[in-house]
Amino acid sequence: MRRVACWSCGKVKREKLAWLADNPFYTKRFAWLVGRRCRAATIKDVAKELHLDWDTVKALEKQYMREQLRRVGTPAPKVIGIDEISIGRGHTYRIVVSDLLRRRPIWFGGKDNSEQSLDLFFQEWGVKKTRGIYLAVMDMWKPFRSATLKHVPEASILFDKFHAVSHLGDALDEVRKSEYARLTGKSRAFIKGQKYTLLSNRANLTLNGRRSLAKLLQANQRLNIAYLLKESFGQLPDSPRPSARSFWGMEGAWPIHAATLRARCILDPVSGSP
């Protein structure tokens, strides 16, 4: 391999040969051999077999895998997950898009969690690769939904269950506050100090917590109905009954807005009127 001195920068540079691996002591053909052997054996066994250092085998295997990925290309996603992560201090966000079928992240970028930042994903990937997306999973952040429907209007939007149930918990707490303000005397005493008992997962409550919850729901019928609706709603994604979904206006789609829970929970438990 020839070495030449560069007149412009004064550095000595080596001649580049297309058939050399990233490690100049080995050829690409040898690197492919090492990579193929690593598909059937551990790095330690391959290093022992070929009388190489462990780090050398690892480096050659990485070059082999990069070449395999280059030849395959990046497959077009069908189902994507969109989320945001906080970096550094303060409210500094970046967007992560994942291929949920292949279970791997495929894009990281943007300047924040805005609609314009998510637009960059669709622009960089292009129409050809993103037009096959038929489902996008995200939280209830409106800019994500707007950007997705703008670029792939045929895609269905699936809100993750965690955020939907969180909104339902807020709705249940509104019912609790309204009942506490409406009632007086002993009826009010059952509600006081029971916020977290009411909002906690029943399976996580202690024995005393479950007893307090039972007394509260028995004493206040509106809270009882609100609690049962909230708990039954959490089971709807796995429910095979179309009637249960149509009751919530889901028509097979998840989720429902918390406003629907508020509307149903604040109805009079007997007459069905506000």
- Residue extents of the structural domains in the chain: 15-72, 79-159, 162-265
Segment 165-219, tens digit of pLDDT: 777 788 888 888 888 888 777 777 778 878 888 888 777 788 888 888 888 888 8
Q: Are 216 and 191 in contact (CB under 8 A)?
A: yes
Q: Please tell me the predicted confidence (pLDDT) of residue 272.
A: 36
Beta-ladder partners of 97:
82, 107
Rounded to two decimals, what is the model's pTM? Answer: 0.53
Phi, psi dihedral angles at 116 (to 5 degrees)? -65, -35
Q: How far apart are CA 255 and CA 41, in angstroms?
A: 47
What Å distances lie between residue 66 and 40, 134, 163, 214, CA to CA?
A: 18, 29, 38, 60
Helix, strand, coil percentages in the chain from 3-state DSSP, rounded to 5: 50, 15, 35
Q: Confidence band (pLDDT; 50, 70, 90) for 144?
A: very high
The residue with tokens 């990281």 is 108
pLDDT score, position 91 = 78
Inform me whether the pLDDT recorded for 69 exceeds 90: no
Answer whether residue 220 shows pLDDT above 50: yes
Report the alpha-carbon distance of residue 211 to residue 87 in Å, rounded. 43
Answer yes or no: are the C-beta atoms of 129 and 152 closer than 8 Å.
no
Least confident of 9-23, 25-39, 198-212, 237-251: 237-251
Which residue in the block uniquely carries the two structure tokens 């059952």? 190
